[in-house]
Structure 1
Amino acid sequence: MSAPRAALVVAAVLGGALTAVIWWTTPWTVLPEPPGGRTPVRPEEGLPAGVGALAAEYAAALRPATLASIVLGLATAAVLGLTPIGARLVRGVARPVGGGWAWQVLLGTVVLVVVGRLVTLPVAAYGEVVRHRYGLSTRSWGLWARDVALSTAIDAALTALSLLVVVGLARRLPRTWWAWTAGGAAALVVVGSFLYPVLIEPAFNRFDPLPPSELRTDLLALAEENGTPVEDVLVSDASRRTTALNAYVSGFGSTRRIVLYDTTLERLPDDEIESIVAHELGHVATDDVLAGTVMGALGAAAAVALLGRLLAWTPLLRRAGATSSADPRVVPLTLLLLTLGSLLSAPVQNLVSRHVEARADLHALELTGDAGAFIAMQDRLAETNLSDPDPPAAWQWWFGSHPTGPQRVAFALDWQRLQEAG
C-alpha cells in the first residue's frame, strides 16, 4: 500500500474511532420529559423590560464582524496557500538569514500568522468598539493591543514550532512522517490540556486567592461533596477587560482550582455563585475535560493523517508552489487546510458541547438542589452578558457552544417539575 493511501486509511480509522467516542460519551438525552410535556422556551421571560431586545441588538451588531473575520481569514489563507504568493513569501523572509529550510518554516510561519491577524485586525477592532458601546468591554485600547499582540505571538510561536517538526519529519521520514506527526499531535493535545491553566492563563490575567469567608468555605465544601476536591479558590482580575460574569474550574490534580471572575464576586449573591460553580464542578465529576481531551487527540491525529494524504496530492502541491510535504513552501497550504478543518468541524464540536453543558446544568441542579438560584443566575448572566435569548437557528447550530439562556431556564423548570412529581 502506498504511503498516501495508508494515510487516508488511518485517517478513516481514526475518524471512525472519534465518531464512536463522540457517540458513546455524549449525553444525547440528559433529562426525561416531565409529566405534561417539556416547558416551553420563552426567550424574554425573566429578563427586565428591554433587555432581550438590547441583547438581540448587540448580537446583531457583532455577528457581521464575526462572519467578516471568518471570511477574511479564510480568503487570506486561500490566497497564500493556493497561489505562489505564499511560497515566495516563505522563501523571501528566510533569505536574509541564509534561506535554510528550517528558517523558511519558522520565519515563514510567523509572517503568515501575523499577516492573517493583520488582515482581520480592523474587524477585531470594530468588534471591540461594539463591546465598548454596549458596556461589555472595559479594556483600554492599550490593553486590547497588548492582548492581541500576546495572543498572536503565542499562536505564531506554537504554530511555527509545530510545523518545523512536521516538515523536519517529512524530510527525514518521507513515507511515514504523517504517522509520527499524528502521534505527536495527539500527545500535544493531551499535554496542552494540562499545561494551559499553568502557562497560558497567567499570561492574560492575575489570580489571587479568595480571602477566608463563608463563600470560600462553602465552595470548598461543595467541591468535596462533589467528590472532586480543589486546591484553592482564586479570583481573576477579569474586570480589567470585561463586565461579563463567569466562573470556571481548571487544572488537574494538584493544579485544580475554582476561578471566579471578580465581576461575579461583586455582583452575584452567594447562592448564585455556588450554582455556577456547581455547574463547573459537574464538568469535573463527569470527566468532560478528559473526554474532550480524548476527542481532541483523536481529531488531531485524524486531521494530520488526512493532511498526509492531501500533501501528497500533486495538483494541490503544484497549485501551492511546493514540490512535496518536505518542501518548506508547503507551509501556507498547510495553514489553509488547518483553517478549513477548524471551520468545518465547529458544528460537530458545538453540538457535543451543548449536550455536555446541559448535563453539567443537571449536575448543578442536583448538587445544590436549588432550581430557584439556578434560574436567577441564568437570568442575571443573560442580562449582564447580553446573551442573545433567541439567536438564528443556523447561527446557534454552527457557533453555539451552550444552550441559550431561556433553554437553560426551561431545562431547570423541567427538572423542578420532575422533582415535584417524585
Structure 2
Amino acid sequence: MPKRPAGVWAPRVTASLLALALVFTIAVTTPWHLIDLPEPDAALDFTSAQIARQDAFRHEILKWSTTSWILSVVVPLVIGFSPLGRRLYDALRVRPWFLAVPVTVAGIALITNLVTVPTDVLAERVSLKYGLSVQNWRLWVWDRGVNWLLTSLGVAVVAVVLIALAKRRQRGWWLPGAIIAALLVLGVSFAYPVLVEPRFNHFTSMPAGALRNDFLKLADQDGVPVKDVLVADASKRTTALNAYVSGFGSTRRLVVYDTLLKDTPPAQIRLVVAHELGHAAEDDVLHGTLIGVLGTAFGITLLYLLLGARMADPRRTGLFVALVVVATTLASPVQNLVSRKIEARADYHSLRLTNDPEDFVAMQRDLAVRNISGLDPSRWRYWIFATHPTPPERIAMGRAWAAQNGSTVPPLAKR
C-alpha cells in the first residue's frame, strides 16, 4: 500500500466542502421538474420510414462510434496505469521536464488518436452515406488535428503547473493548484467563443434584414443582451441544423448554422433561437462555469489525496492523464443528466416566449429527421452520452405545454 501523504487534514476538509458546494450548486441550479409529461411515443410523429432510417443509421454507426469511445478511454488507462507511461516519458528523451511533460501528454493523445482512426473513419463513412456529414477528408483530418492539439494543450498546461507546484511545495501544492486550475476553467469560458470556435467555423454577421431584426427583437423581449447575430458556415461539414448562444457578458453572441437558415420555416427558426435565448436568460453558461470551477478545484484536491508528493515526478505524467480520463468518464453521467434538464428548461422557455406549441412539435420532429437523432436509445447510452432529451421527450414537452394552456397538438405522423 502506498504511504499516504502527510498533512492530509486540510485537503480532506477542503475536498469535503468543495464536494458539498458542488452538490449544492448542481441541486439549486438544475431544473429537476418543469411540467408533467405524457409518455413519449415516437410513432405519433414519425413515420415508419423515418423510424426505420434512424434505426438503420444507428445500427451502422454505433458499433464504430462505441468502439472508438471505448478505445479512447482504455488506451490512456493502459498507458497511465502501467509502466508504459514512464517508459514513454523516458523514450522521448526530451529535456528539461517542463518540455517533456507536454510532449508526453501530446504523445499519449496522439497514440489514442491513431488507435481510433480506423473506427472513426468507418463511422464518418456511415455519416457520409446517410448525408449527415458532407465534409471532405482533408477537413476531417484538420478538425481531428486541431482537436488533438487543443486537448493536449489544455491537459499539458494543467500538468506542468501542478508538477511545478509539487516540486516547490510537496505537501501544500493542492491549494494553489486548485486555485490556478479553477481560474483556468474560468478563463477558458470567456476565451472559448473568440479563440476556439473560430478554429472550426468561419463566422459572419447576419446581414441586416427582417430575420436578424426578429432575432434581436426576440432577445430584447426576453431581456437577453446579445452583442451580435452570427452565421456559422457549418454546411462545409454537415447537414445538421443547430444554433447556440456562446459566451457571456461582452462576448455573448447568437450563432446560427447556415444549414438552419437554408430550408427551415421561419417560425421554426424562431423557436430554435428562443430555445438558445433560454440558455442565456437562465445564465446556463455562468452556472456551468461555476460548476466547472468547483468540480476542477475538487478534482485537484482529490488528486493531492491520491498522489501527494508523487505529483512532483514528471515520469508520472501518464498516470495523471489516466486519472483525468477516469474523472471525466465517471463525471459524464452526472454532467449529461444536468445537461438534459437544462435543455428541457430551454425548450420550456422557448414555448413560453413564442406561445407556439404546434410549430415547436413540428420543429422537434424536423430537427430529429434532419439530424437522424436517436428516438429510443438504450438506457446505458442515454445515461452516458445523451446531453439532450430524446426528440419524443421534447415533443411530449410541447404537447404537455399545449394542454396546460388549453390547446392540443395532433399527431404529425397521421397528417
Q: TM-score, normalised by structure 1?
A: 0.92
Contact 1:91–1:104 (8 Å) recurs in 2: no
Contact 2:267–2:359 (8 Å) recurs in 1: yes
Alignment map for 1:225-244 (pairs within 5 Å): 225-244=221-240
Contact 1:371–1:416 (8 Å) recurs in 2: yes
Moved more, 56-65 or 118-127: 56-65
Match of 1:91 in 2: 90
Alignment map for 1:15-414 (pairs within 5 Å): 15-31=19-35, 33=36, 38-93=37-92, 95=93, 97=94, 99-312=95-308, 324-414=310-400
SS in 1 for 2:230: strand
Contact 2:340–2:387 (8 Å) recurs in 1: yes
The amino acid that maps onto 2:18 is L
Any stretches of 5+ residues in structure 2 without a counterpart?
408-415
2:3 counterpart of 1:7: no
The amino acid that maps onto 1:83 is S
Contact 1:350–1:398 (8 Å) recurs in 2: yes
SS in 2 for 1:324: helix
Contact 1:56–1:391 (8 Å) recurs in 2: no
Contact 1:90–1:109 (8 Å) recurs in 2: no
Q: Deviations over 1:22-41 (max 9, x none)?
A: 1111111112x3xxxx4331
Match of 2:411 in 1: none
The amino acid that maps onto 2:394 is R
CA–CA distance in structure 2, aligned partners of residues 101 and 111 of structure 1: 15
CA–CA distance in structure 1, aligned partners of residues 396 and 341 of structure 2: 15
Provide the alpha-carbon RMSD of the alignment.
1.6
CA–CA distance in structure 1, aligned partners of residues 87 and 6 of structure 2: 30
Contact 2:337–2:387 (8 Å) recurs in 1: yes
Q: Deviations over 1:228-286 (max 9, x none)?
A: 12121111100000000001111222321111111100021111001001001001111
Contact 2:12–2:305 (8 Å) recurs in 1: yes
Contact 1:44–1:389 (8 Å) recurs in 2: no
The amino acid that maps onto 1:338 is V
Moved more, 185-194 or 101-110: 101-110
Q: Deviations over 1:173-210 (max 9, x none)?
A: 11111211111111111111111010000011001111
CA–CA distance in structure 1, aligned partners of residues 395 and 156 of structure 2: 44
Contact 2:228–2:253 (8 Å) recurs in 1: yes
The amino acid that maps onto 1:300 is T
Q: TM-score, normalised by structure 2?
A: 0.94
Runs of 4+ in structure 1 over 4 Å off: none
Offset at residue 50 of structure 1 (A): 0.7
Q: Deviations over 1:90-120 (max 9, x none)?
A: 1221x2x5x3222221221221221121111
CA–CA distance in structure 2, aligned partners of residues 288 and 156 of structure 1: 27
Percent of pairs identical after alignment?
A: 42
Q: Deviations over 1:29-84 (max 9, x none)?
A: 112x3xxxx43311132224411121122123222223212321222112211222
Contact 1:358–1:403 (8 Å) recurs in 2: yes
CA–CA distance in structure 2, aligned partners of residues 49 and 377 of structure 1: 19
The amino acid that maps onto 1:185 is A
Offset at residue 6 of structure 1 (A): 3.5
The amino acid that maps onto 1:214 is A
Offset at residue 5 of structure 1 (A): 4.7
Contact 1:347–1:399 (8 Å) recurs in 2: yes
Any stretches of 5+ residues in structure 1 without a counterpart?
313-322
Match of 1:317 in 2: none
CA–CA distance in structure 2, aligned partners of residues 212 and 254 of structure 1: 21
Contact 2:248–2:285 (8 Å) recurs in 1: no
The amino acid that maps onto 1:398 is I
CA–CA distance in structure 1, aligned partners of residues 102 and 382 of structure 2: 37
CA–CA distance in structure 2, aligned partners of residues 16 and 124 of structure 1: 39
Aligned residues, how many? 403
The amino acid that maps onto 1:21 is T
Match of 1:315 in 2: none
